[in-house]
């Protein structure tokens, strides 16, 4: 992990669970948390992927990374993960709800099962984990932190990814609701809304084939680039750290200004050449007289 902002031992003694931690952004966050000394638990459906990532990360950082197969749709498997995690590390301090499923499609092409498949992973999976971890922490009277990875369209909505948008909006509503309800138990929770961060999982399902060239995310972002994994990992580390101890119920957007670019009524005037502005200014000034 390059360019880390926190001091090297910031998470020493802390145990962090990252769902979907074997790949993509989950792996990037796990790598940084492990660099900072955390005991890591990474989980998802594919144990071979998790084992390979765990080996790679623990070799890089020298800190323990425990891979546990756990489908977030299965409450019994989540209970088992908590038991195994506590048996190994004593207690779990942080849950990062990062696991997700998604694909682009016109909504009218979706079967009921296609819609449910995404809701079951993204919304219900996050609910299942939050509920199981939360009940355990409350019973143990243990302060804890939850970080939910959503998307910018959790707030704006978006066509062609409607099951995901519906689910992420639900996760954001839960983040804000439980930030208040569970504040009294010292369980703090926030969300991150990332813009485009290239990962195999997302790009294969959201920009398949030629779409990757036609629909270039870099052009949609005012900073004219996509996100770098270490940028997201640094934000996540800050939000789960004690330095963010008074931040609760917040969603932090990290998208280079992408969603605002789409929202501002006149932002597409960007396409006008500089020399045209003289003639536009003259026309406006004339009509003012
Ligand atoms: C229409 C589709 C479809 C498609 C699947 N289905 N793909 N329908 N168009 N392209 C339908 C199937 O026909 C089936 O419905 C139902 O969805 C379930 O499909 P399965 O393949 O059986 O599901 P499963 O094996 O459980 O796989 C889940 C998955 C898959 C979500 C479809 O993509 C996956 O495992 N994803 C995990 C990783 C991932 O998606 N990462 C990207 C996260 S990016 P029927 O009716 O036929 O039974 C992200 C935000 C990015 O979330 C924002 C970027 C800016
Ligand atoms: P990714 O690599 O495909 O990550 C998704 C992870 O979720 C995988 O590791 C997958 O592992 C796991 N997963 C899927 N279904 C699961 C289930 N039922 N139970 C447990 N784990 C499951 O994609 P990514 O881009 O890194 O996405 C990570 C997070 O960032 C997601 O929440 C996504 O919505 C969010 N996000 C990404 C972007 C982006 O540009 N990349 C933008 C906005 C938001 P298995 O297949 O092994 O289960």
**Residue of 32, 153, 160, 185 with catalytic role:** 153
In a domain, 2, yes or no: no
- Sort 91 into a burial class: Cβ within 10 Å, 0-12 / 13-18 / 19+: middle
Q: Is 96 helix (H, G, I), strand (E, B) or coil?
A: strand
Beta bridge partners, 86, equal: none
Mutate to test the pocket of ligand 1, among 20, 43, 101 (most ligand atoms within 8 A of CB): 101
In a domain, 253, yes or no: yes
In a domain, 210, yes or no: yes
pLDDT digits (tens, 9 = 90+) for 9-33: 999 999 999 999 999 999 999 999 9
Residues 6 or more apart whose Cβ sits within 8 Å of residue 38: 11, 12, 14, 15, 16, 63
In a domain, 10, yes or no: no
In a domain, 4, yes or no: no
pLDDT of residue 3: 73
Rounded-to-10 torsion of CA 185, 126, 248, 242: 80
**Lookup: tokens for 212:** 């990757």
Nearest C-alpha to atom 2 of ligand 1 is from which residue? Answer: 114
In a domain, 229, yes or no: yes
Q: Domain range holding 118?
A: 15-288
pLDDT of residue 289: 85
CATH number at residue 154: 3.40.50.720
153 is catalytic: yes
In which residue are the tokens 């036609």 written?
214
Regions in the chain scoring below 50 on pLDDT: none
Q: Compute, in angstroms, the gap from residue 144 CA to the centroid of ligand 2.
A: 23
pLDDT of residue 212: 85
Q: How many domains does the chain have?
A: 1
Atom of ligand 1 nearest to the CA of 196: 55
In a domain, 130, yes or no: yes
In a domain, 280, yes or no: yes
Pairing of strands 39-44, 187-194: unpaired
Q: Compute, in angstroms, the gap from residue 100 CA to the centroid of ligand 1.
A: 10
Q: What is the pTM of this model?
A: 0.97
pLDDT digits (tens, 9 = 90+) for 174-203: 999 999 999 999 999 999 999 999 999 999
- CA 178-165-241 angle, to 5 degrees, is 40
Nearest to 237 by CA among 27, 36, 21, 9: 36
Length of the chain in terms of residues written: 289
Q: Compute, in angstroms, the gap from residue 116 CA to the centroid of ligand 1.
A: 10
Beta bridge partners, 251, equal: 191
Q: Is 149 in the pocket of ligand 2 (CB under 6 A)?
A: yes
> Alpha-carbon distance 223 to 176, whole Å?
29
> Alpha-carbon distance 167 to 223, whole Å?
28
């Amino acid at each position: 992990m390059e360019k880390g902002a926190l001091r090297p031992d910031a998470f020493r003694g802390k145990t962090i669970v990252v769902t979907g931690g074997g790949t993509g952004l989950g792996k990037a966050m796990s790598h940084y948390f492990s660099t900072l000394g955390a005991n890591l638990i990474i989980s998802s459906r594919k144990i071979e992927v998790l084992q390979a990532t765990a080996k790679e990360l623990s070799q890089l950082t020298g800190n323990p990374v425990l891979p546990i197969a756990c489908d977030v749709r299965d409450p019994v498997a989540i209970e088992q993960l908590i038991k195994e995690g506590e048996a190994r590390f004593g207690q779990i301090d942080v849950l990062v709800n990062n696991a997700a499923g998604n694909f682009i499609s016109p909504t009218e092409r979706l079967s009921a099962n296609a819609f449910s498949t995404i809701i079951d992973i993204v919304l219900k999976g996050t609910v299942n984990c939050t509920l199981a971890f939360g009940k355990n922490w409350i019973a143990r009277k243990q302060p804890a932190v939850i970080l939910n990875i959503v998307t910018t369209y959790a707030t704006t909505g978006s066509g062609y990814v409607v099951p995901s948008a519906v689910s992420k909006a639900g996760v954001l509503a839960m983040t804000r609701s439980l930030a208040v309800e569970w504040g009294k138990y010292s369980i703090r929770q926030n969300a991150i809304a990332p813009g485009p961060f290239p990962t195999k999982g997302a790009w294969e399902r959201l920009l398949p084939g030629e779409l990757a060239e036609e629909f270039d995310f870099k052009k949609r972002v005012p900073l004219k680039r996509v996100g770098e994994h270490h940028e997201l990992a640094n934000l996540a580390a800050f939000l789960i750290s004690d330095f963010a101890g008074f931040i609760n119920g917040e969603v932090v957007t990290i998208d280079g200004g992408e969603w605002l670019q789409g929202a501002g009524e006149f932002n597409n005037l960007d396409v006008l050449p500089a020399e045209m502005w003289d003639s536009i200014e003259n026309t406006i000034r004339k009509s003012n007289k």
